Amino acid sequence: MKSTLEILQKHFDSSSIKTEKEDLENYGTDWTRYFNPNPVAIFFPKHIDEIQKIVLLANEHHFVLVPSGGRTGLSGAAVAKKEEVIVSFDKLNQIISYNELDQSITVEAGAITEEIQNFAKEKELLYPIDFASKGSSQIGGNIATNAGGVNVLKYGMTREWVLGMKVVTAKGEILEFNQGLIKNATGYDFRHLFIGSEGTLGFIVEATLKLTRAPKEKQVILFGIPNMEKVVKVMNTFRAELDLLAFEFFSDATVDYVMEHTHVGLPLAKRYPFYTIMEFESNNGKNTELVFSIYQKLYQKGWILDDIFGGDEQTIKHLWGYRENISSSISSFIPYKNDLSVRISNIHSFLSETEDIVKNNYPDFIVLWYGHIADGNLHLNILKPNKLSVKEFEEKCKKVNLLIFEIVKKYKGSISAEHGVGLLKKDYLEYSRSKEEIEYMKLIKNIFDPNNIMNRGKVFDT
């Protein structure tokens, strides 16, 4: 019997296959750092028909394929640890076309998120899905995980921006979904099935994305806030009065890591327990005035303790850095990540109950809170103390997870708001999805992928 590698070598040019140890390690993992990569090879297709071909071979010879984009994911969906073949989109990264009248762009799945944003900017438009890993994340991965980020409050998730999609299914068919239409009421919309499917149904190979008008005169204000309760109150007060582009928060401990990692000073003259960063359109100064009048009132009440305003591009970028650079600044501390969400109306109760659990169970661990609070999404990161091994630390966090996820379940929230399920969260899927739903997911997977060749063991076990 031929090995998987021999099959690949027989059917594809050697220049499109990599097997060096360093490459296997690099391409076999994502930003989670909890899994040991062990793929057989990495395949770099240059044409869709090569993807079709490898899918057919995988079905025939029973090997498993892992789709691979920028590997900036945080749940292990792009990890290959069981002798899989990685299919990288690094060489399928072109912007194929732009349609001015439709205000849409068609791209290959390996196109980098930031390049799409920059292309839109050249056309005086906006691709609004934005997050810190945009410089290396690929659009195929964004779609496969329904990526969110800092602008979800105003623009929604990636799902809202996908007008059409071309896929190679796990059976090797090429299908086109929704053809760039805005309206299309003709039965099941498979586009939405593939969005967030984490590579379990097939390969997303091309996408048509909607663009929009860019906001004029963005402004940013960063506040120092005394406690978590006031973070929620400040947010609700501003949200009730004006349309915000973003409203994020972070706890004081995060600032140390960002300062150390990116060589900046404190965001405000003094330290405060929490900070929020709020972005809005100036609207010829009208919103700016409104923001300052609300601010005055909240300052007098003691809900806001200090502020710094950013009206020019450089200051805005600097202020956003305190929030956007948290994740990369703490990554060497092997954080255990939680990506939780509840409805806005439940955020206050959810936060206070979760905080109690965290305080009681992690008394000597460094706990960092940050996230997209205005869309209900909180990133709770626990840093690994030096004295614990990764294994011991993971075991401890897994125990506390159960307590936290009980609260998530009580509030009908999500155990993974925007990072996906992958390997890291699959044991907890039942806290957010019913048994019946999970059973339907498995049935759907089986229809598209009867031989279970696509990203096996991700999201759920089959």
Which of 43, 370 has the CB closer to ligand 2HG?
370
Interacting residues with ligand 2HG between 34 and 53 (CB under 6 A): none
Binding of residue 132 to ligand 2HG (CB under 6 A): yes
Q: Identify which of residues 206 and 339 has a Cβ nearer to ligand 2HG in the complex.
A: 339
Residue 367 touches ligand 2HG, criterion: CB under 6 A: no
Distance CA 86, CA 40 (A): 8
Count, residues near ligand 2HG per rule CB under 6 A: 8
Residue closer to ligand 2HG by CB (options 169, 254) is 254
CB of 315 to ligand 2HG, least distance (A): 20
**381 is a site residue for ligand 2HG (CB under 6 A):** yes
Any contact of residue 210 with ligand 2HG (CB under 6 A)?
A: no
CB 374 to ligand 2HG: min, Å: 13
Q: Which is nearer to ligand 2HG, 354 or 381 (CB)?
A: 381
Minimum gap (Å) between residue 279 Cβ and ligand 2HG: 14
Binding residue for ligand 2HG, selected from 71, 154, 337, 458, defined by CB under 6 A: 337
Q: Which of 288, 327, 341, 414 binds ligand 2HG (CB under 6 A)?
A: 327
In the complex, the smallest distance separating the C-beta of residue 379 from ligand 2HG, rounded to whole angstroms, is 4
In the bound complex, what is the minimum distance in angstroms from residue 267's beta carbon to ligand 2HG?
Answer: 16
What CA–CA distance (Å, rounded) separates 326 from 258? 6
Is 445 one of the binding residues for ligand 2HG (CB under 6 A)? no
Report the residue from 379, 384, 396, 445 that binds ligand 2HG according to the rule CB under 6 A. Answer: 379
Q: How far is the CB of 454 from ligand 2HG (least distance, A)?
A: 25
Q: Looking at beta carbons only, is 205 or 277 nearer to ligand 2HG? A: 277
Which residue's CB comes closest to ligand 2HG? 327
Shortest reach from residue 408's CB to ligand 2HG, in Å: 16
Minimum separation from the CB atom of position 89 to ligand 2HG (A):
21
> Contact positions toward ligand 2HG, by CB under 6 A?
131-132, 326-327, 337, 371, 379, 381
